[in-house]
Structure 1
């Protein structure tokens, strides 16, 4: 894969050519009820079933001609280099709050015999305190007893590859996560884009060293001129302004960033949990956000300033205006029925992954919304969702497109 073609995302619906996934592993088995809130998980996942479901979406994508890349495999290629391996482990430990010398040395020794892929899988799965038998105390923190069962926390949200970085045009935003628990997820993307021969030297429109959170589930590339970003539970206005400034200051063709101010609640944690594009002029939307939704347009201003304006009118009119369409069709999750809409939105009924115009991948459990999509001439490819949906994310959340055909 040549550098110039390793990232190319100028829309949400063009034929999907290449995507990044992470197959859930032992990290989801290292969750217990006492630490669900700490690890930002609502329920405990049955791993074997989750793996089967994840393999289903992978198989669907491959059957549609999509090249599927896995995070663990890209990282394993990088970590063949001993210096990069050591740098990565040290940074990972420090961000995981392993800062005492005795514990750091014990973890380094413990990981010494792990192969590159096994190392990545282990760091994602977490390191239990019972696994390190011989820590030579070199600081007070090495000596004090701690009942917490992990020296390094598991990262159960890792199978949601949409959030740590986002492909935009020919570059990426390397994101700052809203919760400290998830920030280690972005280290993997950092190393892929720093060191992997297929991805290094990719432009960055945002970087993880910033102070304001920006997460990938809030970023939708609607066209080669318009990027939509959610002001959400996880993304703040300052980050959206910085992203817009960097896009406009580049050679990219984007002209407008539309900021969607959605309710700041966990149920709607990202824009793509309530709004996704399914065809040239069709979107699926959770009706609960329509009435309180404010939209702001951000454009290039004079002297490298941003021109920001509140957009009057209905969402459908705003989308038509900026996408140059006579009209758009908003397909309401649950058919607009209050009970069905809220039930299916909770299980990501609006979180579709488009693999080409008018063809989307969806959870099979959201039968009301899926049938409505079909009635609007959208081809729906379903897969099982008993376990993956427990993590509060759908097909779009689990995937990071790297290359799509331009429209």
Structure 2
């Protein structure tokens, strides 16, 4: 049976989702490299795996089919054409250097698919090279330096691609530490049996192209229904990308309106979904300090083909979104507690929950005040509040694995 892929709502019943287990890449984090790899600190990987599987079990309990990124990559790498396509982009003179690229490429073409997928996600250090490298790059590297970098941010599967109605974007990411994630996922979408014949369009993005200032991450992208899309513009997603995504959606008749939301360029609100998420068809949770100051712009198809009309919205974001959905107003749950608690709970992703179906959300037990308000607003259907994960980025990962709300045939 051919799967039908698409995301038509932030709160529709989640049918199928791709997640990534904490593993080798996270074990590569150290105090000296974690900031370069976009983590605030190192993680306790064993506990991260326990909490991640708790999350997976919770989704399965609600009937969600859960697939794992590395297993999908392994299955993809068993296809010779797919392996060559990906290695051509991951192992070449520009990425590993003259004198090493050819030999390493040839070696990786022959190894077991599971071992290869582990390297493509977990990285390969100089000391782990299977051959002696006579190259400038290898000569200047220390033994523990990486020839192929680890990709610990693969944990945040929501960011790498964005399913928007019947199609997907292959996101050009803001930071170098994340850009190779898109290449891995592109290989899965292009060659894996679950995706290669599905016929879904790619709205934006191509791992073989450079996009300059046009960067986007999935935590900023929300198809909310009624052919409208919210896209945040902050630390990771730029207006340059928003315009291109909107133009493509309009040209294909995939959307009628894109609501662009100007966010502060701050780490605490790096994505729209860290300050604003849907919990039910008419219910959102927000960090009011940021959301109440968001400037919004409505993008619609221009009069001439290929053009985009942009208008500044005068109303607050919640009113703009309600109007786009044909609602009189949204129910709003703000971050709970006093000013100190609100700042702490926002940092701990109190407003970044995942809806498994309308009114059923997953959050974190550390955010006691916000969770209490959400529990009441969702009629007591809050599914599970997870233990805090020692580190905000893991907490954010668990809350952000929403990216593929894939609809299957009834």
TM interval, shorter chain, is over 0.9
**Matches of 1:303 and 1:179, distance apart in 2:** 35
Structure 2: stretches of 5+ with no match in the other structure = none
Aligned residue pairs total 400
Aligned match of 2:33 in 32, 35, 41? 35
Query: How much does 1:134 deviate?
Result: 3.6
Matched, 1:400 2:403: yes
Match of residue 326 from structure 2: 324
Match of residue 86 from structure 1: 84
Matched, 1:383 2:386: yes
**Matches of 1:121 and 1:342, distance apart in 2:** 38
Structure 1 pair 385/104, CA: closer, same or farther in 2 (3 Å)?
A: farther
Structure 1 pair 390/244, CA: closer, same or farther in 2 (3 Å)?
A: closer
SS of residue paired to 1:197: coil
Matched, 1:244 2:246: yes
Query: How much does 1:348 deviate?
Result: 1.0
Matched, 1:269 2:270: yes
Query: How much does 1:152 deviate?
Result: 1.6
Does the 8 Å CA contact 1:272/1:396 hold for their aligned counterparts?
no
Structure 1 pair 41/104, CA: closer, same or farther in 2 (3 Å)?
A: farther
Matched, 1:45 2:46: no
Match of residue 349 from structure 1: 350
SS of residue paired to 1:166: strand
Structure 1: stretches of 5+ with no match in the other structure = none
Structure 1 pair 145/153, CA: closer, same or farther in 2 (3 Å)?
A: closer
Does the 8 Å CA contact 1:169/1:224 hold for their aligned counterparts?
no
Query: How do residues 291-310 of structure 1 correspond to structure 2 at under 5 angstroms?
Result: 291-304=292-305, 305-310=307-312
* TM-score after normalising by structure 2: 0.92
Q: Which moved more, 1:197-206 or 1:94-103?
A: 94-103
SS of residue paired to 2:37: coil
Structure 1 pair 157/266, CA: closer, same or farther in 2 (3 Å)?
A: same
**Matches of 2:94 and 2:325, distance apart in 1:** 43
**Matches of 1:308 and 1:280, distance apart in 2:** 26
Q: Which moved more, 1:311-320 or 1:343-352?
A: 311-320
SS of residue paired to 2:304: helix
Query: How do residues 2-401 of structure 1 correspond to structure 2 at under 5 angstroms?
Result: 2-3=2-3, 5=4, 7-94=5-92, 97-102=95-100, 104-106=102-104, 108-109=106-107, 111=108, 114-132=111-129, 134-137=131-134, 139-146=135-142, 149-200=145-196, 201-208=199-206, 209=209, 210-211=211-212, 212-252=214-254, 254-304=255-305, 305-335=307-337, 337-378=338-379, 379-380=381-382, 381-387=384-390, 389-391=392-394, 393-401=396-404
Does the 8 Å CA contact 1:348/1:394 hold for their aligned counterparts?
no
Structure 1 pair 119/374, CA: closer, same or farther in 2 (3 Å)?
A: same
Q: More relative contact order in 1 or in 2 (CA 8 Å, sep 6+)? A: 1
Does the 8 Å CA contact 1:244/1:298 hold for their aligned counterparts?
yes
SS of residue paired to 1:401: coil
Query: How much does 1:122 deviate?
Result: 2.4
Query: How much does 1:248 deviate?
Result: 0.8
**Matches of 1:96 and 1:52, distance apart in 2:** 38
Does the 8 Å CA contact 1:103/1:135 hold for their aligned counterparts?
no
Does the 8 Å CA contact 1:18/1:401 hold for their aligned counterparts?
yes
**Matches of 2:109 and 2:341, distance apart in 1:** 51
**Matches of 1:171 and 1:350, distance apart in 2:** 27
